[in-house]
Amino acid sequence: DPTPRPPVCKIMDYGKFKYEAAQKARESRKNQQLTVIKEQKLRPKIDDHDYETKKRNVVRFLEAGSKVKVTIMFRGREQSRPELGFRLLQRLGADVAELGFIETAPKQDGRNMTMVLAPHKGAKTRVKAQEAAQASTAKPAPAAPAPAAEQQPAEQGDAQTS
């Protein structure tokens, strides 16, 4: 009841109150998730093999649960063709769509064009589940039978004496 007559109050130890408040603050800090942003830099006239290498790095970052800032650097006359960079970023976003989504659309910022990719929710747990499944399905290699190994030296010895 918020309006009792006479008002009800609680007598408490102020030191204990401060300690409990500090404990709650520490718990909330422990549960916070630290956001890591990795950066991958590209050029507008990138070769296919180089693009695949950069894409593989972006995939690795997203699988680890990090956000990825993709930057395209324009030089000289390339600055007059920003649509090349825009198409490249759209292509990269489409290629990694199953791992992450475009958080910030491509935008021109002086000589650079940037885009931020973020992993889908639960990406880390999905990767850990895949690793656990692979570890459980991996079987140890069968050992070579011992009797066959003993017969070979004997045969070699016979061949040497003949």
Q: What is the pLDDT of residues 74-115, one digit of tens each?
A: 998 988 889 999 999 999 999 989 988 998 899 998 899 999
pLDDT at 116: 93
CATH superfamily of 37-130: Translation initiation factor 3 (IF-3), C-terminal domain (3.30.110.10)
Taking only the tens place, the pLDDT of each residue in 132-143 is 666 666 655 555
Q: Nearest-CA neighbor of 58 among 118, 138, 145?
A: 118
Residue written as tokens 């885009």? 115
Domain spans of the chain, in order of start: 37-130
Burial class of residue 119 (count of CB atoms within 10 Å of its CB; 0-12, 13-18, 19+): buried
